[in-house]
Amino acid sequence: MSGILDLLQSETGRSIVDGVSQSTGTDRAKTNNALTMALPVLMKAMERNAKNDPDQAQSLMNALSNKHDGSILDNLGSLFNGGVDEPVKTDGDKILGHILGPKKQGVEEVIGQKSGLNSAQVANILKIAAPILMGMLGKKARQKNVNSKGDLGGLLEGMLGGSQTRREQGFLEQVLDANGNGSVVDDVAGMVLGGRNKGGNLGNVLGGLFGR
């Protein structure tokens, strides 16, 4: 199964980056960096939540089967035309709170420091990205006929790269456990944005996850 960030390498992905950048008034390259870092982190958080809490797994399953069924991806032009509506951002903020809980601020600060944005800008980007990510998961769940909590775990693991990406799984856990004091910023720099071409570096492993 292809990784979640294959989306950003597609025509649809470029439209998403352009739309999010324009809607938030942030630099396109920095927006792309923020999304490249954030989407796997959100995926990992969902995987962890679903694994550790059956109620969270059922809640996610219900969301993917109903509201977040992938239809948001069918009309991105309408979503971004004239700026993203506030109800979408409000929904995104609720999704982030549900996924990240008290880790939300720390994750935003770490991603901000290494994408060249401040945490408020990252927060705005993620409010828009979260419903899109949920839509992508919902669409994949329909394609893979995922209709149970047991199947959900396999879907999330597969979209994170499965057993071939254990090293970056540890990295994603580090970002999720950040407390906003920059304690994992150097790791983030080397592993995602600055280390893609170093032999044996986690950046190379992440490159596979990102479809690069």
Mean pLDDT by 10 residues, the chain (212 residues): 69 90 94 89 87 88 87 87 88 93 87 88 95 91 83 82 55 68 49 42 36 38
Distance CA(68)–CA(184), nearest Å, equals 32
Joined tokens for residue 205 = 């492993």
Continuous H helices in the chain: 11-24, 28-52, 54-65, 76-80, 86-100, 104-115, 119-143, 149-159, 166-176, 185-188, 202-209
Q: Supply the pLDDT for residue 203.
A: 37
Q: Collapse the DSSP code of 108 into the 3-class scheme (helix H, G, I; strand E, B; otherwise coil) and give the result.
A: helix
Q: Supply the pLDDT for residue 161.
A: 66
* Report field, pTM of the whole predicted structure over 0.75: yes
Q: Supply the pLDDT for residue 172.
A: 72
Distance CA(159)–CA(133), nearest Å, equals 12
Q: Supply the pLDDT for residue 77.
A: 85
Return the number of other C-beta atoms located less than 10 Å from residue 149's C-beta.
15
